[in-house]
């Protein structure tokens, strides 16, 4: 069972995310593929968010399900507070939405390049061992 503190934090977070997107309960329900009443019940505090509701909310908000599960108190908080991560998150939080999107695209591109390079190194080592 969720604590009342977890529920209140989740309700506030969910409402803030909806407000940021200017979504109604009906909008979120449609994008999440869940019943409008399920979201309304959570926002009123009449029910706890379950796994399927959290997955739908994550899909609607286009965020990793783990983020929503953590907000809902289903998963423990993320415990990777190294300094580089904290600085990156801090800088990212200060950016405009457009710049955030650019940085995510850049990070994906860099990761793909890193993966291609790693494959090239493995191929090079394999051919040297022949």
Assess whether pLDDT exceeds 90 at residue 125.
Answer: no
Please compute the mean of the pLDDT values over residues 8-14 and round it to a whole number.
Answer: 94
The residue extents of the domains of the chain are 4-71, 83-128
Provide the token pair at 104: 């995510």
CB 6 within 8 A of CB 72: yes
Instruction: Note the pLDDT tens digit of each residue in 68-113.
Output: 998 998 988 776 666 777 778 878 988 999 999 999 999 999 999 9
Q: Which class would CATH give 4-71?
A: mainly alpha
Provide DSSP, 64-103. Answer: -HHHHHHHTTSSPPP----HHHHHHHHHHHHS-HHHHHHH
């Amino acid at each position: 069972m969720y604590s009342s503190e977890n529920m209140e934090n989740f309700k506030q977070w969910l409402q803030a995310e909806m407000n940021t997107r200017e979504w109604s309960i009906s909008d979120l329900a449609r994008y999440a593929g869940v019943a409008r009443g399920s979201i309304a019940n959570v926002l009123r505090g009449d029910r706890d968010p379950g796994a399927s509701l959290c997955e739908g909310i994550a899909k609607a908000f286009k965020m990793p399900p783990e983020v929503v599960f953590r907000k809902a108190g289903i998963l423990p908080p993320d415990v990777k507070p190294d300094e580089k991560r904290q600085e990156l998150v801090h800088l990212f939080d200060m950016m405009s939405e457009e710049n955030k999107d650019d940085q995510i695209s850049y990070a994906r591109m860099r990761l793909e390049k890193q993966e291609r390079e790693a494959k090239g190194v493995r191929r090079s080592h394999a051919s040297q061992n022949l």
